[in-house]
């Protein structure tokens, strides 16, 4: 719960957003416990002791509440990614930063990461699907540009739409297994191994990042 509170405080820092943070915190717990389909606005209202009108005022409907949580998670994840990338000066360091930031965020925010996986399909098919597509396009374009600055020759033979999956895919696969309880070791324990494996898979020939 403390991690959830910290994330919401970062994304909605003003005192005026206290009710919004409370609703989002409660909704996150309800969705993770009962599932998105089974959770109702009334359940969220009862748990956070807010009015139905307040929930609809801030989020419109249940789909809006789901999307607000999903985009909040994306924003926080992106902020950590940018902080790691700001310290990267070589292509290998960029690759490591992308893997490390993903793994570290999931390890620190398991409830949010679990919800992300749970809600991705619902948001992609919901009323805010165009916003999600736009965000994904912008993120992928920014990543391609950042990677190209440091290693255009190394990446030139890779399909553009494949690069992000090659870099984050192995980490995402392990994180899903951890969040579902199929493995017990935190992803953060394997952050360096995952990053090194991705670098080898990309054919990296530069000197070590560390």
Q: What is the CATH number of the domain that holds 16?
A: 1.10.357.10
pTM of the prediction? Answer: 0.88
Q: Do the domain assignments include residue 209?
A: no
Reply yes or no on whether the pLDDT at 205 is more than 60: no
Token digits of residue 167? 């870099």
> Which of the four pLDDT bands, split at 50, 70 and 90, describes residue 203?
confident
Rounded to an integer, what distance in angstroms lies between the CA atom of residue 170 and that of residue 174?
6
Domain total of the chain: 1
Position 167 in a domain: yes
**What confidence score (pLDDT) does residue 4 get?**
66
More confident residue, 155 or 29: 29
The reply to whether 206 falls in a domain is no
Query: Where in the sequence is the domain holding 105, given as residue range(s)?
Result: 2-201
Q: Is residue 92 part of a domain?
A: yes
Q: Say what the pLDDT of residue 152 is.
A: 59
Q: What mean pLDDT is reported for the chain? A: 89
Q: What's the pLDDT tens digit per position in 42-98?
A: 999 999 988 999 999 999 999 999 999 999 999 999 999 999 999 998 889 999 999
Residue 210 lies in a domain: no
Give domain status of residue 81, yes or no. yes
**Hey, what are 197's tokens?**
């494996």
Q: Which residue has the higher pLDDT, 193 or 161?
A: 193
Let me know if residue 177 belongs to a domain: yes
What end-to-end distance do the CA atoms of the chain give, in Å?
A: 34
Span 115-144, mean pLDDT? Answer: 89
What the block records as the tokens of 174 is 């392990």
| 63 within some domain | yes
Given phi > 0 = left and psi -120 to 50 = alpha, else beta, which region is 208? beta
């Amino acid at each position: 719960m403390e991690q959830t509170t910290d994330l919401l405080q970062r994304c909605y820092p003003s005192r005026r957003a206290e009710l919004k943070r409370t609703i989002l915190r409660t909704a996150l717990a309800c969705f993770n416990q009962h599932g998105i389909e089974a959770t109702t606005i009334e359940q969220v209202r009862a748990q956070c002791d807010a009015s139905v009108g307040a929930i609809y005022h801030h989020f419109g409907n249940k789909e809006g509440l789901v999307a607000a949580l999903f985009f909040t998670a994306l924003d926080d994840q992106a902020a950590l990614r940018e902080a790691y990338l700001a310290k990267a000066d070589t292509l290998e360091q960029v690759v490591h930063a992308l893997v490390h930031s993903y793994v570290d965020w999931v390890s620190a925010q398991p409830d949010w990461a679990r919800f992300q996986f749970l809600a991705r399909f619902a948001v992609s098919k919901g009323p805010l699907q165009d916003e999600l597509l736009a965000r994904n396009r912008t993120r992928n374009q920014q990543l391609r540009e950042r990677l190209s600055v440091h290693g255009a020759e190394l990446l030139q033979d890779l399909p553009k739409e494949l690069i992000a999956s090659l870099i984050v895919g192995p980490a995402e696969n392990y994180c899903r297994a951890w969040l579902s309880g199929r493995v017990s070791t935190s992803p953060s324990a394997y952050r360096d191994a995952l990053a090194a494996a991705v670098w080898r898979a990309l054919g990296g020939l530069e000197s070590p990042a560390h």
